[in-house]
Structure 1
């Protein structure tokens, strides 16, 4: 079976405001303070104009990382890529009998509790997290209302927001049934 791309749920349109809003605010504060103090808002010193250049470049890089997210499924594994993180999960490592689709509003116990190495904004999580029970989780969550929770045999879990989580779960179960038994 060739790898097929699995569409992800679209994140909220305002997600990037949580990234760009604070940066633009920080960029504007010092020049405004200088202006109200009767001084020129920007001088020739790098300390004056450097942040006006560096912060938007860093934020643009983070925006590009935010836009990198995809799921691919082949006959043996699920490949997840998001922001600066990626993971390949063999279907045989999944405990599909315990997998479920959840809404964090209705089931807050499944919500990641602590970011250990990840990228997080309201409504978007990518990377490595600790779950409320202390276990590890790898997340690519773009919609808190449709999250596919895939427990793994090693005690960790994978949390994803595909456009159609139930269809992905059924496809994973179908592929697991076709795997050769060891």
Structure 2
């Protein structure tokens, strides 16, 4: 396989409404910021003021910059929620998930131990807590600690059908795919044809 013929694998569908777990709190802060700006008119405002309550910082008595930052955060995090891709190219499995990316050579994958599991029932691979990730109910992206004790890199949109691939000397990959067996077969085919090191 060359870089020009990267083979994508479809990520399992996830409800688009899950993005509201990110957007609704930001919209609430935005609303409070606008309300406080409209109800607090000060003429003797300093050039810049930082507060612990919304809108958090003011410039020349205006919350416009603070509100603009909140809007940009909402757009960025909303965009990141929909950034999901799994590709196999140049003997490397490339997983892109929200703000994270993991490129793993096929030679480092322990394919004989790979399996499709239900994370809700399998205690070895259940997600325990996030170390550097992006998560909400039913959606996990990034780096996590697993209930079985190891580390994992997750792109999980369907806990009931997750392809688990242990990695030699690294974090276990947890991937929710429409056809997890198709990726596993493709990886095994690449591993069988790759030159031995």
Which of residues 126, 130, 145 in structure 2 aligns to 1:115? Answer: 130
Cα distance per residue 1:62-88 (max 9 Å; x no partner):
112222221110251101112221111
Asked if 1:100 is matched to 2:115, the reply is yes
Cα distance per residue 1:102-134 (max 9 Å; x no partner):
122332441221211111122221111111233
Q: How far apart, CA to CA, are the structure 1 residues paired with 2:172 and 2:9?
A: 19
Match of 1:131 in 2: 146
Match of 1:41 in 2: 39
Greater RCO (CA < 8 Å, at least 6 residues apart): 1
In terms of Rg, which structure is larger?
2
Residue segments in structure 2 that go unaligned for 5+ positions in a row: 46-57
Query: Displacement of 1:31 after TM fit?
Result: 5.2
Aligned residues: 177
- 3-state SS of paired residue (1:148): strand
Residue segments in structure 1 that go unaligned for 5+ positions in a row: none
Calculate the TM-score normalised by the size of structure 2.
0.79
Q: How far apart, CA to CA, are the structure 2 residues paired with 1:12 and 1:87?
A: 24
Calculate the TM-score normalised by the size of structure 1.
0.85
Q: How far apart, CA to CA, are the structure 2 residues paired with 1:53 and 1:111?
A: 38
Q: How far apart, CA to CA, are the structure 2 residues paired with 1:142 and 1:119?
A: 12
